[in-house]
A = this chain, B = another copy of it.
Amino acid sequence: MSEATAVYRLLTIQSHVASGYVGNRAGTFPSQLLGWDVDAVNTVQFSNHTGYGRWGGLRFDAAHLADVFANMKKNGLLRHNRILTGYTPSPEALAAVEDLIRAERQKNSSLIYLLDPVMGDMDRGMYVSPDVLPIYRRMLHLSSIICPNQFEAQVLAGMDITSLDTMKAVLTKLHAEYGVPHVVITSLELPADDLAKIGAAVTLPDGAQPMLLVGSTWDAEKKSPRPWFLQFPSHGEYFSGVGDLFAALTLARFSETPDDLPEAARASYASYGTPAENECTLPIARAITLAVASLQHVLLRTHKTMVELGKEEGVDPFQPTHTASVEDRVKVMRMRELRIIQSAGDILHPTVHYRPQWMHHSA
């Protein structure tokens, strides 16, 4: 195989919105920019994301998805090194996706499958049908990487995370019982004394409260999780599609060896720089560090644009949308769309400010 015929194919199965950046619309362009031949199966076609409060379009049913998958298979087009799945509208549609992933996993043991088990969050609880849970639990066994938030990790494991000990119990369960190689809990709340134990900060140098991301790779010999963490400023609370962009960047960047990455991703890996002391240098941690770094650029650019648009249009773009009028809510949602296109350079070559650390031994 030559450079001309090298195969860097990624399949993503998520939502499509005509306008704005969530689901496949958040992940496809960055993955393409990083050199991936992205195949995209859309699970819905909506005018815009549902955070606007009103939208038009269709959720696609399981029969349509299965038909698309079946014909891709017939035509030899299921030949991906990577698969990404995110929000899927119904248990039936998710089951069709499960069938696909199961067949691909059986065919290709080196497939890297990132499962983003989109179900809910700590603020809103479950926002999809609870019938997806048993399906996601089965799909965990097929995954290479999962990136739940705290709520989703808890629901999948069936235990709450209130401390370091319960965090480790959840990680162990996802690794050992569900066979997930790499778990990434994208945001986690821990008591202040537990933060101190693992060597994490309670506040960032500028006084802001950091987000805590916890990663863990299963150590099969020691039969224990090897947890690490990454702290970075939170800019994401106003935005939709952040998790989708994060998942896509993580999958596009992750590789055990640089040769498994397309040239664009390989060439821009230098952005990572030199590891610090106590830094976790696992490939998954490095991928996530670059993903978070790119995301910070996108969020800061979006934030800046919101401030300027707010002035121009005389609307507070940071106002709570659940109490806003329908018209104000829509206006604010438009301002909050991620500035992904404008961030192409930063997606390829991010500046890394925040680095992953192993959790202290004492933890």
Contact = CB atoms under 8 A, between A and B. Distances in A.
A195 to B, nearest CB: 35
Contacts of A1: 312
A18 B68 contact: yes
B4 A77 contact: no
Nearest to A304: B4
A29 B28 CA distance: 9
Interface string A1-19: 1101100000000001011
A309 interface: yes
Interface stretch (A49-57, A159-167, A209-217, A352-360): A49-57
A75 B57 contact: no
Given A18-B68, A308-B4, A32 B29 contact: yes
Contact of A344 (B33, B48, B305): B33
B18 A39 contact: yes
A68 B56 contact: yes
A68 B45 contact: yes
A341 B29 CA distance: 10
Given A29-B32, A64-B45, A344-B33, A19 B77 contact: yes
Interface string A51-86: 010111110100010011111101111000000000
Given A5-B308, A29-B29, A40 B18 contact: yes
Contact of A341 (B4, B32, B72): B32
A309 to B, nearest CB: 5
Contact of A60 (B37, B45, B52, B72): B45
Contacts of A52: 75
Contacts of A55: 71, 75
Of A2, A19, A312, A342, the most chain B CB neighbours within 10 A belong to: A19
Given A29-B29, A42-B42, A52-B75, 14 more contacts: A2-B308, A4-B308, A18-B72, A20-B39, A20-B77, A29-B32, A32-B344, A56-B67, A56-B69, A57-B71, A58-B60, A75-B330, A75-B333, A75-B334
